[in-house]
Structure 1
Amino acid sequence: MVYFTGGTAYAYPYLMMIPVLLGAAWYLLPGGLIVALVAGVLMALMPLHVDAGTAQSSSNWLIRIAMFMLLGGVAGWLFQSRRQATEERIAVARVDPRSGLPNMVALEEDLLKSLRHRKEGKSVGLMLVRITDITDVMEAMGMDASDELILAMGERLRHAIRGGATAYRFSNAELALIVSDIVPDDLTRIAGRLTEIGEESLQIQQVPIRVQLVMGSSVASEEEGSPESLIHEARIAMFAAIERRLSHSRYSPAFQRRTVHAIQLIARVRKGLAEGEFELHYQPKIRLADGRVCGCEGLIRWRGSDGGLISPGMFMPKVESTTLISPVTRFVVEQACRFAEHETGPGEVSINLSVHNLYDEELLQVIRMLVERLGSRAHTLEVEITESALIGDLEAARQAIQRMRDFGVGVSIDDFGTGFASFEYLRHLPITGLKIDRAFVVGLEEDKRARDLMACMIDVGHALELVVTAEGVETSGQHECLRELGCDQAQGFYFSPALPASEYREWCQGYAARQRLSLDPS
């Protein structure tokens, strides 16, 4: 173009600055300088005037080369500085500032790369690992110790996977691992190795620390899978493992269906309470010494809009971890007191309190007012508290239980034997009863060790002058074993499931008639 437009004396030679700038933009400082030098040399070969055949003077083309080199150098330096700054920002955005581990941004980007480059017949897996007791480390030793723990555990987990892997900090207590080129069953074996690693102590600030790991995993098939869906599934699986008290759980579509359904149910709880969809059913308790009904347990039930009952397992675990537990428990207490107020039959009406209820001052005042309304029948109300409600603050639990005892309400330890309570706890708590979990009832008929253990638990209760109740009795053999071992009370499907109030009264009448008939056949 320069030659055909008349030579370097005209304006077209300055178009050569365009490739110089492009070279600087693409190849930074070296590219800008090299392209500038090449452009200057090529321009030096051009005549000053083509028609006259006038050659350029040395100073002319040397100045031009210098100008091109200056332009290429400055532009290359600017582009290079900008790219370095961008790369530094990207690097900072991919790193957790406290632990130095790659963060969620890095996880999503690297997971996308792994999904795009997976091998045929192989899958990409993601494992989320939660350090369940990192809060204890944080409270005892501070944030720096917890960050050091996360980093040390990340290094251990990374080396535990064949070929190595990158550990990403997913949250304050969670790490993520991308596992490429696997089949789904590999995740179970990997989880086993990671669990073993968690059993080994770590030195954090010269203190040996052992942590508990809970893992959730998900696998992307060849046809589908995105970073977002894989992370979501692994997180659901991890929460399922926590709920089931497992060390590892693989994602199942059933987890998500149940979660969505549970969310919808929880959103309807307050409306259900307001519209009278909840009701209390009563399961009878039998005094084993004479076979008579000695009370019942009030159990909450939710009757949906279609008239069918919604299983408590579908909503109560979530309700217990939210503020909804207060209105739900208040409903249970009110219904139980109303039932006890009008019930002419013998025995107590038991209801369950969660750990949150135990320290709810407003709820305790409601119980006090309702019990005062019962007057002389105040002793007919009993509350059952699980052992887990006792482990946080024994003294606070003792005070709350004593207040209910002062109201005239009986207090029993529910699911005894499966939680954390010890004989030392039992000695200090002002309780009136023990309720032995169904897990200890199942093997009574065929397992001598189960019977010996049950006998021991019954003796402990009696030694502390407590009423001992066994739940989950389903066979006549279990009933007979408990009677022979001296258990005070029993409840379970062998006698009756939980029934609505009217059906419960009818059942009690029929049961009493059958008892009289068995004692006096004539």
Structure 2
Amino acid sequence: MHFFNHLLHDHDLALILLAAAICAAGCYVGVGLSQRAASERGTARWHWCFLTGIVAGCTIWATHFIAMFGYRSPVPVSLDGVLTLLSAHIAVVGSCAAVAVATLSRRLWASATSGLLFGLTIAAMHYTGMSGYVFAGAEVRWDYGLVVVSIALGTALAAAANFRLSGSDGTKVDIGSVALWVAAIVALHFTGMASMTIAPLAGTVVTDATYSGVGGNALAGAIATISLMIVGLGLTTSQTDRRQQLRSRLRLQHQAMHDALTGLPNRRAFGRALAKRSAAAEATGAAFALLVVDLDNFKPVNDGMGHATGDEVLKRVAHRLECAARPGDFVARVGGDEFAILLDGVRDSSAAGSVADRVIEILGRPFLIGEQIAEIGACVGISLAPHHATNPSRLVNHADHALYSSKRRGKGRWQVFDDTLLEAIERRRVLEAALRRAAVREDFDVVYQPIVDSSTDELVGAEALARWSPATHGAVPPAEFIPMAEELGLIGRIGMTVLRKACREAMSWPDSIKLSVNLSPVQILDPRLVSGVAAVLHETGLPPQRLELEITETALLGDDELALRTLNRLVALGVNVSLDDFGTGYSSLSYLHRFPISRIKIDGSFVNQAPVDANSASIVRAIAELGKSMDLQITAEGIETAAQREFITSHGCQNLQGFLISRPLSEAEFSDLCRAAGQERAA
């Protein structure tokens, strides 16, 4: 009761409220600065501790002196300048020390120590400041019990404030800590004031208090103005820093969720967007489609034209995808040359297919990069939610399966997932494992398709053809397992297996019969090919001039200089080289001029139509004439009818091959054919 009577009757309420406002504002800013200091490390932490100490110290000092100016002293009062300045220094230095300790650790000892320092700072400032008040003609009496209580209250409340601060996340100013700081300052000040009694000496005239000839209200206003300026500086600094932190945080969040090159959302952002839509699809049946887009021919562009050009192509691909998608669709870059699009509200494959058509069409247009033209393309895999799945991982897997299927069908295609794709994927997985085992065990058969002289029907050679029949699936067509072997990097090993078997078996044939073996485009680019062929010839003893290696035009497109060096080295061994499927590819005459080719083989697609199709007939005649003019041997493949044979023979093709001549034969069957041919010649 004494405390409240003292507060209400012995003070100017307006100045007390001003002191409270200064205290609340300063504590609010101080708590915010203290949180900022705790979040820093190194030198920056001490800078923020110092700024916090300045604001907190000025707040404590201003609160004390403004409240003191509001105290109605019964006698005139003057201020001791040295003690008044000393009290200000105590407030600032002690606050800096208390804040520094509080920021060292979030443990209880740091909060307790900091609270003790803060409480003792308030007490030391208060009682030093009180010592600087000179009451003329009066005696000051102290209730030391209340003095102890004031120090205990200030220390306990300050410790509670710092302990609460240690548990805050620092994202916003902790109002509870502000209230405890205010309570610590106010409780210590007014409890300390209640412990003081001013007793005028006998004969002293009681008048309104004055301070060194200046009114208390004027002094209080000056101190409040200066303090508010300091607090405002701290607030401005804090808010400016918070805005910078917010901008930095937003920038980091953007960088974390967006691709640096294209500016599109990245894989992480795509994962979140897909998870959100998947959850909605599962909960409410909300439909959406996932399109996975994979670029065609990007690697040759990136490697051949340079990575800078490749990066520019990716940027423009991103822009074109945003144009192809509908407004509001989610477009992301999820890999090097892989993108994804989420189409909200799409329930059926036709709508998703329309977007896929636009994507394929717009990415199929040439890209003009500086003076270079880059031509790529795209394939698209599609999965639908909730029809196919609502689980994000399953949706992605289904779309990937559909993408894989579309790429196997050719470039510039799209495919919607269906259950039959899983069967194809499983078949592919099993076959890949079986093919790896077969490559190690050399578990391949070789059959031979006879080649005859067109004018005499004499057997002149055979083309070796690889066959594979795994126990789990039966015979697998070469058109299926050869591309698979190329993708898996097994074609070199398999090719050498077939070459070795064929050369070994050809040693039992008559010397006049040549052996033709196909080379994959991948093998042509293998630096070990020439040494491998030389080793097989040495191992089997087959004369090099009896071996003819068949290549396709596509083998010359990847790196024609490397291909030229490889073929020249093979010819140096004594091996002949033929160009297979002539006319179906680019058919550049420069190949025949630059490369050491001794034979060209007319593709069966022209031979089949030659007797009745004028265009095919013209192509066959042109190839035959070309062979004659360049002194090249000509072999026609795919002879199936007597009319085809007659047409081909009449145009000067030296050798014939096809089902009309013979189907592919096993080694035993071909050996029997060789013996029969030898007996006919002998007869």
Q: TM-score, normalised by structure 1?
A: 0.76
> In structure 2, what is the equivalent of residue 366 of structure 1?
532
Picking from 152, 156, 163, the partner of 2:316 is 152
Contact 1:128 1:235 in 2 (8 A): no
Distance 1:276 1:102 in 2: 48
Map 1:102-501 to 2 at 5 A. 102-117=265-280, 122-130=287-295, 132-133=297-298, 135-137=300-302, 139-143=304-308, 145-182=309-346, 183-202=348-367, 204=369, 206-207=370-371, 209-223=373-387, 224-252=389-417, 253-269=419-435, 271-273=437-439, 275=441, 277-305=443-471, 308-344=474-510, 346-372=512-538, 377-501=543-667
Higher alpha-carbon deviation: 415-424 or 307-316: 307-316
Distance 1:458 1:225 in 2: 61
Distance 1:155 1:360 in 2: 38
Q: Which runs of 5+ in 1 are unaligned?
A: 1-10, 41-72
Distance 1:268 1:405 in 2: 35
Identity of aligned residues (%): 25
Distance 2:591 2:632 in 1: 14
> Could you report, residue by residue, the CA deviation over 1:299-327 in whole angstroms, capped at 9, with x for unpaired residues?
11123236933332332213224442232
Do the aligned partners of residues 326 and 35 (structure 1) sit closer, same or farther apart at CA in structure 2, a change above 3 Å counting? same
SS at match of 1:246: coil
Contact 2:564 2:595 in 1 (8 A): yes
Map 1:34-49 to 2 at 5 A. none
SS at match of 2:317: helix
CA RMSD, aligned part only? 4.3
SS at match of 2:345: strand
Contact 2:467 2:475 in 1 (8 A): yes
Contact 2:291 2:399 in 1 (8 A): yes
Distance 2:392 2:649 in 1: 59
Do the aligned partners of residues 180 and 209 (structure 1) sit closer, same or farther apart at CA in structure 2, a change above 3 Å counting? farther
Q: Which letter maps to 2:492?
A: S
SS at match of 2:400: helix
Distance 1:278 1:134 in 2: 32
> Could you report, residue by residue, the CA deviation over 1:123-149 in whole angstroms, capped at 9, with x for unpaired residues?
423131415235524653534x43333
Do the aligned partners of residues 226 and 499 (structure 1) sit closer, same or farther apart at CA in structure 2, a change above 3 Å counting? farther
Distance 2:604 2:613 in 1: 15
Contact 1:101 1:151 in 2 (8 A): no
Per-residue deviation at 1:512?
A: 9.0
Per-residue deviation at 1:199?
A: 4.3
Distance 2:543 2:647 in 1: 33
Between the two proteins, the alignment pairs up a number of residues equal to: 474
> Could you report, residue by residue, the CA deviation over 1:272-307 in whole angstroms, capped at 9, with x for unpaired residues?
355452121111123222333321111111232369
Per-residue deviation at 1:355?
A: 2.8
Per-residue deviation at 1:266?
A: 3.4
Q: Which letter maps to 1:334?
A: R
Contact 2:507 2:540 in 1 (8 A): yes
Q: Which letter maps to 2:381?
A: S
Per-residue deviation at 1:251?
A: 4.2
Distance 1:312 1:196 in 2: 32
Contact 2:363 2:378 in 1 (8 A): no
Q: Which letter maps to 2:411?
A: L
> In structure 1, what is the equivalent of residue 127 of structure 2?
none
Do the aligned partners of residues 346 and 234 (structure 1) sit closer, same or farther apart at CA in structure 2, a change above 3 Å counting? farther
Distance 2:473 2:678 in 1: 31
Contact 1:134 1:211 in 2 (8 A): no
Per-residue deviation at 1:454?
A: 1.8
Do the aligned partners of residues 179 and 473 (structure 1) sit closer, same or farther apart at CA in structure 2, a change above 3 Å counting? farther
Higher alpha-carbon deviation: 247-256 or 179-188: 247-256
Contact 2:442 2:497 in 1 (8 A): no
SS at match of 1:155: helix
Do the aligned partners of residues 97 and 487 (structure 1) sit closer, same or farther apart at CA in structure 2, a change above 3 Å counting? same
> In structure 2, what is the equivalent of residue 97 of structure 1?
260
Q: Which letter maps to 1:449?
A: N
> Could you report, residue by residue, the CA deviation over 1:365-385 in whole angstroms, capped at 9, with x for unpaired residues?
232244356668432211101
Do the aligned partners of residues 190 and 369 (structure 1) sit closer, same or farther apart at CA in structure 2, a change above 3 Å counting? same
Contact 1:131 1:211 in 2 (8 A): no
SS at match of 2:646: helix
> In structure 1, what is the equivalent of residue 31 of structure 2?
none
Q: Which letter maps to 1:165?
A: D
> Could you report, residue by residue, the CA deviation over 1:74-122 in whole angstroms, capped at 9, with x for unpaired residues?
xx99999999887665433221223322111111221222334458685
> Could you report, residue by residue, the CA deviation over 1:185-206 in whole angstroms, capped at 9, with x for unpaired residues?
23333233223322445454x4
Q: Which letter maps to 1:176?
A: A
Q: Which letter maps to 1:97?
A: A
Q: Which letter maps to 1:386?
A: T
Contact 1:401 1:429 in 2 (8 A): yes
Per-residue deviation at 1:424?
A: 1.1
Distance 1:303 1:390 in 2: 31
Do the aligned partners of residues 417 and 209 (structure 1) sit closer, same or farther apart at CA in structure 2, a change above 3 Å counting? same
Contact 1:187 1:217 in 2 (8 A): no
Do the aligned partners of residues 137 and 316 (structure 1) sit closer, same or farther apart at CA in structure 2, a change above 3 Å counting? closer
SS at match of 1:285: strand
> Could you report, residue by residue, the CA deviation over 1:320-353 in whole angstroms, capped at 9, with x for unpaired residues?
2444223212211211111221112743111111
SS at match of 1:342: coil
Contact 1:285 1:295 in 2 (8 A): yes
Q: Which letter maps to 1:132?
A: N
Q: Which letter maps to 2:451?
A: K
Per-residue deviation at 1:505?
A: 3.0
Do the aligned partners of residues 201 and 190 (structure 1) sit closer, same or farther apart at CA in structure 2, a change above 3 Å counting? same
> In structure 1, what is the equivalent of residue 185 of structure 2?
none
